[in-house]
Chain A
Amino acid sequence: MTGGGRLGWIFGAVRTAAADLLLAAALAATSAGIAVAGPAPQRIVSLNLCIDQLLIDLVARERIASVTHLAHDPLYSPRATDFAGIPANHGLAEEVLALEPDLVLTGPFSRPSTTALLRRLGYRVVEVPVAATLGEVRSQIRELAALVGAEARGAAMIADMDRRLAALPPRRDPAPIALIYDTNGLTGGADTLADEVLSFAGFDNTARELGIAGWRLLDLETLVVGRPDFLVVGDLAAIPPSLGRQLLRHPALRQPGLRRIELSSSHWVCAGPAVLAAVESLAEARLAASAETPR
């Protein structure tokens, strides 16, 4: 035991023989001393962007002690402005210590060394599996809601998502084909959130038709030959200048038969309600286009 953190001190004390009295005193000191999980955490630190995105809807802002710096970056976070004022972390143990959290949430990609160090210092660190699809996100929301004591809010979020999914305009055959084309030509094939977004919005995914699984860089010529009806490029105004962005302005992507939709790729970085926002606006674009020129 190297000390640091009130809970660490408490857990350390549990192991000692004469700890019973101390523990009782400590538990009494907290407002609601419920069993092992303790009270609903009031100073939550998240080290994972996808957890940030759900947390902001699950608990009051005041209870979030810190989110990842990515949550503040509109390139990755569709609602970056909602996080304004919440301190940012870069996933480093030092930053977490200073915040004195009572719950640290990590994802599968958090640094193991950071997690181990925080645990050794006695912090409560919980790794939450991050959903890869909209199907999986329900259980992730439930798990997270239980951890932060917001079960009712979590259930409401899931119900809202289901309602929005059910309200989507029906798919029409033959479905128009669309391609998500982001900075550097990044596209999502089978088994990606991008593919799920297109499919819910009533499109076939060009990348899937080209045999792409996962995320891959797609060259211009293959794109042209793949012949999508719609091209979903990132929100060009929000992407900082680079050669990768320049590619999205290539004249080959500005053909009369190719409809461009500008939509920030931040929507399909994490599974969650933001994905639905993207699905809804793409489905709307599909309907608007088919109203113009019936296929």
Chain B
Amino acid sequence: MSRRRGLVLGGLLTLAAAALFLVSLGIGRAPLTLLDLLFGANGTDPEIAGIVLTEIRLPRAILAVMVGAALGLSGAVLQGYLRNPLAEPGLVGASSMAALGAVVALYTGLAAALPWTLPAGGILGALVGVSVVHLLAGRSASPTVLILAGVAVNSLAGALTSLALSLAPSPFAMQEIVFWLLGSLADRSFDHVVLALPFMAAGAVLLASTARGLEALTLGSDAARSLGVSLDRLQVQVALGTALAVGAAVAVSGAIGFIGLVVPHLLRPLVGWRPAALLPVSALGGAVLALAADIAARVLSDDAELNLGVVTAMVGAPFFIYLLVSTRRRFA
């Protein structure tokens, strides 16, 4: 019964993602609709249409799907693994530390010489972030301890990112901190897609492979162990998967908050609270939310477009507060 509900939900989310994907292709700074771009309506020059569609709008929409899916999936895995409703990549230090790693790789010129060092820097940073928060808070810690550990790591990462940008030789570095803190998909290209995709795919495979372990973990650690689940291995899968998926995503899109928090929460009741069923729909839901947020970022502002993180925070932060209140009630 619940399996069928998961399938229906997955189908609906896929449809929504496909629709938003097309909408995303139809908007941009140039006054060209999807019909203009695809069929040369209104006398659109096919050469210009081709460049706008394939080099500017398509990579942007694809990145929104990739980044949203990575954040949604890792959020679902982290919440299941830590058995903590407030866990998400931004909170456990993965996103901010990934931004730090990517900033170091980019502004030192390393990434210009060796492009793969950009996602690698993000992944390394994310891995350090996740590990430190995990060490500080431990699994199944109270939400408060986890949040405090996350706050500590995030503020350190933010300060170090700011420091790295201040020391960077580029006079434009400091103003670009907005991209790293709030994320954006503006002016991205297929170079970024190609750069991040292999790492993010590997991370997604690792994260997806935690499904059985997370399922067992709902019965408690001891029960999970007796079911033959290696908790050490699960821990490595979660940390490495999050680092790969989120680290590479942040390296090409900046840190985008709240997607990993909101999406699993909204979908969990719809799949009967089963972690295994939650993972695929959270990835799809993340893609839907990221696409919608990226559309809003362009539509809401006439002049310079908004940062993606601003839009997700407007949705996510009130949700986070609501969650805090309801968890406090439960733990009090």
Given contacts A221-B52, A224-B52, A257-B47, contact A250 B168 (CB under 8 A): no
**Which B residues, 46 to 72, have Cβ-Cβ distances below 8 Å to chain A?**
47-48, 51-52, 55-56
A31 to chain B, nearest CB (A): 42
Q: Which of B28, B111, B189 contacts A221 (CB 8 A)?
A: B28
**Which A residues, 234 to 266, have Cβ-Cβ distances below 8 Å to chain B?**
239-247, 249-252, 255, 257
In the bound complex, CA of A225 to CA of B56 (Å): 12
Residue among B107, B108, B187 with max Cβ neighbours from chain A (10 Å): B187
Task: Say if the beta carbon of A219 comes within 8 Å of chain B.
Answer: yes
Given contacts A241-B112, A243-B106, contact A251 B172 (CB under 8 A): no
Task: Say if the beta carbon of B170 comes within 8 Å of chain A.
Answer: yes
A219 to chain B, nearest CB (A): 4
Whether A242 pairs with B187 at a CB distance below 8 angstroms is no
B162 to chain A, nearest CB (A): 15
Whether A252 pairs with B189 at a CB distance below 8 angstroms is yes
Whether B176 pairs with A243 at a CB distance below 8 angstroms is yes
Q: Which of B30, B170, B179, B191 contacts A224 (CB 8 A)?
A: B30
In the bound complex, CA of A9 to CA of B189 (Å): 64
**Which B residues, 26 to 40, have Cβ-Cβ distances below 8 Å to chain A?**
28-30, 32
Residues of A within 8 A of B176 (CB): 242-244
Given contacts A221-B56, A240-B109, A243-B179, contact A75 B171 (CB under 8 A): yes
Task: Say if the beta carbon of B116 comes within 8 Å of chain A.
Answer: no
A63 to chain B, nearest CB (A): 30
Residues of A within 8 A of B179 (CB): 243
Residues of A within 8 A of B170 (CB): 239-242, 244-245
In the bound complex, CA of A255 to CA of B55 (Å): 10
A224 to chain B, nearest CB (A): 5
Residues of B within 8 A of A240 (CB): 107, 109, 168-171, 173
Q: Which of A224, A225, A241, A249 contacts B107 (CB 8 A)?
A: A241
Residues of B within 8 A of A245 (CB): 170, 172
In the bound complex, CA of A220 to CA of B53 (Å): 12
Task: Say if the beta carbon of A222 comes within 8 Å of chain B.
Answer: yes
Task: Say if the beta carbon of A184 comes within 8 Å of chain B.
Answer: yes
In the bound complex, CA of A184 to CA of B170 (Å): 12
| Mask of B90-128 contacts with A, CB within 8 angstroms, 1/0 | 000000000000000011110110000000000000000
Give 5 pairs: A residue, B residue, CB < 8 Å, sorted on A: A75-B171, A219-B29, A241-B108, A244-B170, A244-B172
